[in-house]
Amino acid sequence: MLAQAKSSPDINNYLTYLFSSSQVPPGLSYTPEEYHAVRSAAAVMLKNNIRTGYKSIPPESLALVRQSVPLALQDKNQTIRSYAGNVITEIVNRGGILGWPELLPELLALVGNDTGVVSPEAQEGAMSALGKVCEDNKKMLDKDYQGQRPLAYIIPKLISFTANEKPRIRSLALASINVFIPQKPQALLVSLDDLLNRLFQLANDTSSDVRRQVCRAFVQIVEIRPDKILPHISGLVDYMIAQQRKIEDEELACDAAEFWLTVGEHSELWKSLGPYLNKIIPVLLESMVYSEEDIAMLEGGGDDADEEDRAEDIKPKFAKNKSARTLANGEEVDENGQNGGSYAKLSGMEEDDDDLDEGEIEEFDDDDDGNPEDRWNLRKCSAAALDVFATDFRGPVFETILPYLMTNLKHPEWPYREAAVLALGAVAEGCIDVVTPHLPDLVPYLISLLNDPEPLVRQITCWTLGRYSAWGAGLSTPALRAQFFEPMMEGILTKMLDSNKRVQEAGASAFAHLEEKAGTTITPYCEPIIRQFVRCFEKYKDRNMFILYDCVQTLAENVGHGLAQPQLIELLMPALIHRWHKVSDQSRELFPLLECLSYVANALAESFAPFAQPVFTRCITIIRQNLEEYVAAVNNPILDTPDKDFLVTSLDLLSAIIQALDGKQSAALVSGSQPRLFELLQFCMEDPENDVRQSSYALLGDCAKYVFPQLAPFLATLLPILIQQLDLDSIIDEQIETGFSVVNNACWSAGEISIQHGKSMAPYVEQLLHRFLEILGNPEVPKSVLENAAIALGRLGLENSGIMAPHLASFSEPFLKSINTVEFTSEKATAFKGFCLIVVSNPQAMEKDLGRLCTAIARYKMEEAFKTPLTADLQQLFQHTLDLYKSLIPEFSPYIGSLISAADLNNLRTVYNL
């Protein structure tokens, strides 16, 4: 019946009528509660119909919706008003501002009570709807429509609405303004002084919601116009301290604390807080003590290590792309920013970015707030701010907290003990120089706190010890390491099998941090470490298994081939393989397990061979199943789309295995795969998800390097797909970062294929050259992508210089500029060799760029080039290139001396007898 009703052309008229009618229609006998449920259901259905089928709704139906829904903004019931705002926002999202030109003036007139007869409910409903339209259409409202921008009219109105007598309207108006501040629209910048005046007037508003938005506005303005904040910094410090101390409203206190974080990380403003550290830091320290409510929620965790995890306790795990190809220079990228990584380890500090519309779910979700450790809160924000201050001001911060630490580290009440340990951990990185003299006393005491009767103290102590592990690992003598580092390592390892699951998690997380900081110095301790990991594999419940994989892969990453000792392999691999058999192909635990095995395969290299066949085969099976499920879901919308992370982690593990084994073993695995690997890879290279394509091109490049004979028969199919991927127009603005990562890996794989495929690349040279030139000429392209495009272009010239030579003048300058920033690796050497072969084929084309080329040759460091047979003759090729120009240009030495520096000319004379 519902399906029949949905297919009726009048369904949206009917839903609109029900939703916008506050009285039960004649002929229906519903109680007020029942009719409210009917109206709510009608609103949700109407909104969903607009979302999924806007273009198919008849114009007269849309006209009725536009006419009727604003009536619901005046409803006495707040939920109905909220639903009306959702429907209005959806119409604007689908039809644009011009599709409903009278909407904004109508909403603004209602909020402003222009007629003088608008009810308070209608004003509030209209303001709520306007706020939603602003939030969902930030860019659209700042576009030029026939010489006018809606924001130029909206912003001054919103500022005036912050003076409304109703607190709800004041806070909604400010919240709407806050939506636009990060974008820096001109309409806001010209009204910024008016806004600041309003903020100062609202600073002591009776409504905590309004004050919360005031705090947020100041935080946002720091980012866009720090010069407007600086003159008021003294008053703002006092204001934010006062708001942060209002602990009865934690959200307000947390928004105030964000001010310290934002100013502390701002290059132009952080110094302005220096005179106020003695005021601010005590408030941060107060705020880091667990509140009574938090303690009530957290206490009683006790000895729960043997209890099974509930499904809701296990956070979803997302696959991480391996960034091995991301930078041509092999630099590691810190994805967590300045402090994010540390605090994420402390206990997932992500802000909840909820996409659901107001009114469509309950006001709050008990599970989300059930554990203060699982949400961003005042305590974590204050600790992060202290960390930033420690990095900014160093010594003075530690001097300020030292009396606090002396009093509280041994406090008889555990919440104060715990907060002091947190504070000590927060300043670890910024204040390490001034803390170091105290560490010989502090570290043994911290190790003793690992046995504190309160699990939360043990938990935070693990984290803090992890933060000081770099000091322990860096101690200069074996005796000092035995005195401090080994007990630190043993203490954290022991806590990985604590009787409390949260302490286990903190111990494992801290140990992964220790492994990272210790690097190869941890190699001699591998056996006891792995024995403890194996015990953890036997004991851990599902949630902590995820962080245990992180410990194993971090060990593999830092110890490398040191892990490939028979006794270590016999300990570790049975535990991993046991888990491998236990985890199903549909389990999300597969992501961290596959990722972990990738690192282990890289570390073990050929010693991974006994385990490779079943792992390789299962990855192929997972990829095939996922692709089949995806095709089925595309053809049948009722079916769920499969999780693409299964593809990403499987592709990455295949890459790791192909790199790890010797050529014959890898070739046998690829040849024997059913279905054939490269047939599956073709689909993955065309997948709509960037992450899948990024891993696909990484695997393609690895296959070109290690199993080219098996890849070659499929290149006629795969190369056109690769060339299409190099089109920058295919990158979606909203996914620009991951889009460039895909192009980056596609460039890298094109270069690897060019080396192996040689002259057979000829049919593709013109298209590839066109794509590389587009990339090299685009100022928006990140440096790493430019470098990989230049390397690929140079490598293409190794066997195809004759085809490329006529085009040399068009790419010599961008090539030389981009290759200049690449470090002296074998990749750079192969690219330069290919480029020089092109130059030799058309030397006259270098007239504009000869100085640039000679500078590059003069500065080239040859050590790396001699290490591969392909580039062993690079110096001779440079000599040949220079000799060629000597024969073409009379008085070559003085001529080139006028184009390059004296030092570079001297190098050419010394090395190449110029």
**pTM of this structure:** 0.84
Nearest to residue 288, comparing CAs of 403, 410, 417? 417
Q: In 736-833, at which residue ranges do the beta strands (DSSP E only) sit?
A: none
The SS3 assignment for 145 reads strand
Rounded mean pLDDT of 437-460? 97
The tally of CA atoms less than 13 A away on the side-chain side of residue 762 is 7
The SS3 assignment for 73 reads coil
Q: In 788-879, at which residue ranges do the beta strands (DSSP E only) sit?
A: none
pLDDT bracket for residue 292 (50, 70, 90): confident
pLDDT bracket for residue 300 (50, 70, 90): low
- Amino acid identity of residue 871, one-letter, is T
Q: What is the per-residue DSSP string for 579-627?
A: HHHHS-TT-TTHHHHHHHHHHHHHHHGGGGHHHHHHHHHHHHHHHHHHH
What does the block give as tokens for 201?
């007037």
pLDDT value, residue 865:
67
- Return phi, psi of residue 145, to 5°: -115, 100
Radius of gyration of the chain (CA): 32
Q: How far apart are CA 510 and CA 51, in angstroms?
A: 46
pLDDT value, residue 10:
85
Residue found under tokens 């056109």? 720
Q: In 345-467, at which residue ranges do the beta strands (DSSP E only) sit?
A: none
Nearest to residue 138, comparing CAs of 105, 89, 83? 89
Work out the number of other CB atoms within 10 angstroms of the CB of residue 365.
Answer: 11
The pLDDT > 70 percentage for the chain reads 92
> Is pLDDT of 416 > 50?
yes
The CA-atom distances, in angstroms, between 732 and each of 666, 688, 884 are: 36, 11, 46
pLDDT value, residue 334:
37
The CA-atom distances, in angstroms, between 762 and each of 46, 728, 766, 768, 800 are: 57, 23, 8, 10, 7
764-818 pLDDT tens trace: 999 999 999 999 999 999 999 999 999 999 999 999 999 999 999 999 999 999 9
What does the block give as tokens for 727?
């089109």
Residue found under tokens 């550290």? 277
Residues whose CB is less than 8 angstroms from the CB of residue 751 and which lie 6 or more positions away in sequence, other chains included: 701, 788, 791, 792, 794, 795, 796, 827, 830, 831
Which neighbouring-strand residues pair with 148?
Answer: 145
pLDDT value, residue 363:
32
Contact (Cβ atoms closer than 8 angstroms) between residue 849 and residue 874: no
pLDDT value, residue 247:
84
- Across 26-30, 762-766, 855-859, least confident range: 26-30
Q: How far apart are CA 102 and CA 285, in angstroms?
A: 52
- Terminal-residue alpha carbon distance, the chain: 90
- Distance from the Cα of residue 307 to its chain's centroid: 33
Rounded mean pLDDT of 838-866? 93
pLDDT value, residue 321:
53
- Amino acid identity of residue 535, one-letter, is R
Rounded mean pLDDT of 435-450? 97
- Better-scored residue on pLDDT, 882 or 356: 882
> Is pLDDT of 170 > 50?
yes
70-112 pLDDT tens trace: 889 989 999 999 999 999 999 998 998 888 999 999 999 999 9
231-262 pLDDT tens trace: 999 999 999 999 999 988 999 999 999 999 99
Work out the number of other CB atoms within 10 angstroms of the CB of residue 363.
Answer: 7
Residues across the chain: 914
pLDDT value, residue 97:
85
Q: How far apart are CA 314 and CA 265, in angstroms?
A: 33
Q: How far apart are CA 410 and CA 329, in angstroms?
A: 48
Rounded mean pLDDT of 674-694? 96
Residues whose CB is less than 8 angstroms from the CB of residue 44 and which lie 6 or more positions away in sequence, other chains included: 83, 360
> Is pLDDT of 339 > 60?
no
- Better-scored residue on pLDDT, 719 or 349: 719
pLDDT value, residue 252:
96
The CA-atom distances, in angstroms, between 690 and each of 294, 598, 687, 771 are: 40, 20, 8, 19
pLDDT value, residue 28:
80
Nearest to residue 109, comparing CAs of 157, 170, 156? 157
> Is pLDDT of 322 > 90?
no
Please report, to the nearest 10 degrees, the dihedral formed by the alpha carbons of residues 603, 607, 609, 612 taken in order: -40
Q: How far apart are CA 779 and CA 267, in angstroms?
A: 25
Q: How far apart are CA 588 and CA 279, in angstroms?
A: 47
Rounded mean pLDDT of 889-902? 93
> Is pLDDT of 312 > 70?
no
Contact (Cβ atoms closer than 8 angstroms) between residue 542 and residue 580: no
* H or E element that contains 181: none
> Is pLDDT of 352 > 70?
no
Nearest to residue 187, comparing CAs of 138, 143, 227, 153? 153
> Is pLDDT of 193 > 90?
yes
> Is pLDDT of 365 > 60?
no
Nearest to residue 568, comparing CAs of 519, 521, 527, 515? 527
The SS3 assignment for 152 reads helix
Rounded mean pLDDT of 650-674? 97
- Mean pLDDT (the chain) is 91
> Is pLDDT of 369 > 60?
no
What does the block give as tokens for 794?
């140079």
